[in-house]
Amino acid sequence: MRVAIIGTGYVGLVSGACFADFGHTVTCVDKDAVKIEKLKDGVMPIYEPGLDALVASNVKEERLFFTTDAREAIKDADAVFIAVGTPSRRGDGHADLSYVYGAAEEIAGLMDGFTVVVTKSTVPVGTGDEVEEIIRKARPEAEFAVVSNPEFLREGAAIKDFKIPDRVVVGTEDARAREVMKELYRPLFLNETPILFTSRRTSELIKYAANAFLAVKITFINEMADLCEKVGANVQEVSRGIGLDGRIGAKFLNAGPGYGGSCFPKDTLALTKTANDYGSPVRIVDTVIDVNAARKKAMADKVIAAMGGDVTGKTIGVLGLAFKQNTDDMRDAPSLDILPALQAAGARVVAYDPEAMKEAAHLLKNIEFAGSAYAAVDGADAMVIITEWDQFRALDMGRIKTAMKGNVVVDLRNIYSPEDMAKRGFAYTSIGRPEEFSRQPGNMELT
């Protein structure tokens, strides 16, 4: 099939490369000429493991093309995907749909023959109706169908998530469009991936419901972690103890500094906005948004408390800036709350992230960037782990100890053992694992 993708960001680029790898002929379009030129030269605009090789092989096989000119891409396409951004609208938190509607207008002007217009961007319920209306108005005679096909990939594991998804959701009431979507995803049918056909509105809501549920789950375990600290329990054991219950499931139960990233913050906000507009508030999600925002702010206080309550003139070595490992995405990362608060309290901050320092440099002021984890903590009074990159999981603690001036370690991802760190002479603080209790005999073995 011939596919055009409008918007070559995380979702557009990964979807385009994967569809091409399935054997379809894909043209990725973006307005950003620099991005397209770089892609033509084989330079990825984002850090995503395996993406450069996947793009290179499909470009070489002439199944994947990049352009700023939507005309050729859309004219011959069986399916045109809209994968543009839907950020939070300033002021009210509603999803800003101007890019989606802009793309719809463009598609309307250029499509030729029966075309399936697929909204892959995360969009509020009813957006598909609006997209259909825009196209119908511009081209009353055109044959087309507007389909919702939300994307569930995770940054950092995007290719695997696209190629081996838990499910594919397709929202359409149009029989012809359904056949086109089936053909596009046929390679996944062969893997027995569940493909769920729903109405368009249901499909749009599924995406928000999924993200909101995951945000609830993370926030739940984060609050359990706070309670663990008060009552003397270990949150990792609580997670395991509840996660083994098949009704709960073990994933998304790692306590940490609060969720961030390009999706959960804006999607939870947009869902509550839609729910309020329809007079059916989702109060649990309202609360989750507030709790998470407060949590990100509280993390700086946790660091300051671990350093004795005053960080004036102290140096803090920070490991990890991206909102999670394996991405350079800094959107709504907890580090964006934590670092300025530490600076405002008088600390000097030296940070290292394997991939996100370039992005972070645009968003954080007066941070010194180091070339490695060890360089970041050189002469530091404290080391703070914010992102759980693999390379931070087995640091040479002897070398860290020698490099540091102080001995305070604040591990906001629980990647080290309190007992082990205490043995090594660190004053170690983590999330929901009060040190005196984790040392008690009889603690559950985590395997």
Ligand X SMILES: NC(=O)c1ccc[n+]([C@@H]2O[C@H](COP(=O)([O-])OP(=O)(O)OC[C@H]3O[C@@H](n4cnc5c(N)ncnc54)[C@H](O)[C@@H]3O)[C@@H](O)[C@H]2O)c1
**Residues that bind ligand X in the complex, under the rule CB under 6 A:** 6-12, 29-32, 35, 83-86, 99, 102-103, 106, 121-122, 151, 153, 155, 262-263
Give whole-number Cα distances, 230 to 221, 233, 235, 300, in Å.
Answer: 14, 8, 11, 18
Nearer to ligand X, 24 or 35 (CB): 35
Nearer to ligand X, 83 or 134 (CB): 83
CB 317, min distance to ligand X, A: 29
Burial 176-195 (b: 16+ CB within 10 A, else e): ebbebbeebbeebeeeebeb
Sign of CA dihedral 345, 348, 354, 357: positive
CB 372, min distance to ligand X, A: 28
Q: Which residue's Cβ has the minimum distance to ligand X? A: 9
Nearer to ligand X, 101 or 437 (CB): 101
CB 226, min distance to ligand X, A: 28
Alpha carbons 211 and 344: distance in angstroms, whole number = 33
Alpha carbons 344 and 366: distance in angstroms, whole number = 11
- Helix, strand, coil in percent for the chain, rounding step 5: 45, 15, 40
CB 138, min distance to ligand X, A: 15
CB 95, min distance to ligand X, A: 8
Q: What is the DSSP string of 392-435?
A: GTT--HHHHHHH-SS-EEEETT--S-HHHHHHTT-EEE-SS--H
Give whole-number Cα distances, 191 to 1, 60, 158, 169, 203, in Å.
Answer: 19, 26, 17, 15, 22
User: Hey, is 169 helix, strand or coil?
Assistant: strand
On the 0-12 / 13-18 / 19+ scale of CB atoms within 10 A, 297 is: middle
CB 68, min distance to ligand X, A: 8
Alpha carbons 312 and 304: distance in angstroms, whole number = 10
Nearer to ligand X, 151 or 328 (CB): 151
Q: Which of 18, 28, 228, 263 is catalytic?
A: 263
On the 0-12 / 13-18 / 19+ scale of CB atoms within 10 A, 66 is: buried
CB 31, min distance to ligand X, A: 4
User: Hey, is 319 helix, strand or coil?
Assistant: strand
Backbone dihedral region for residue 424 (phi beyond 0: left; psi -120 to 50: alpha; all else: beta): alpha
Alpha carbons 4 and 27: distance in angstroms, whole number = 5
Nearer to ligand X, 35 or 348 (CB): 35
228 included as an active-site residue: no
Could you tell me if 433 and 235 are in contact, meaning their C-beta atoms sit under 8 angstroms apart?
Answer: yes
- Catalytic residue numbers read 263
